[in-house]
Amino acid sequence: MLNLVRLNGINQECHLVAGVLGLVGTLLFYFLLSDASIGHAIVTGIICAVCWYIYKLGEGLTFDGQPTIAGPVVSIGLIVLIMVLHFTTI
């Protein structure tokens, strides 16, 4: 029996959503925090886009062609860790 863990590819819509999330993250961070610099806002937007890609990669994890629950759970845990580290260092 051959067991394969495989990542599915990312489609073009995923790139569009990542760009929109990055832009929205940048704008929200900059306008909602009165003492925020534009540099921190841009970094936050980039981290939002990267977190979207991490989630989509975790969502595409399959085992023998069947979707697994481990991929999304691990990716959400990693996203939470990234966000906590980012916002505690600002």
Instruction: Take residue 73 and report the two structure tokens written for it.
Output: 């759970």
Instruction: Take residue 39 and report the two structure tokens written for it.
Output: 């540099």
Per residue in 17-53, pLDDT (tens digit) is: 999 999 999 999 999 987 889 999 999 999 999 999 9
pLDDT at 57: 86
Per residue in 48-85, pLDDT (tens digit) is: 999 999 998 888 777 777 778 888 899 999 999 999 99
Instruction: Take residue 66 and report the two structure tokens written for it.
Output: 């069947």
Using CA atoms, how far apart are residues 20 and 23, in angstroms rounded to an integer?
5
Residue type for position 63: F
Using CA atoms, how far apart are residues 58 and 50, in angstroms rounded to an integer?
12
Strand 61-63 to 66-67 pairing = antiparallel
pLDDT at 1: 44
pTM of the model: 0.82
Reduced to 3 states (helix: H, G, I; strand: E, B; else coil), residue 61 is strand
pLDDT at 28: 93
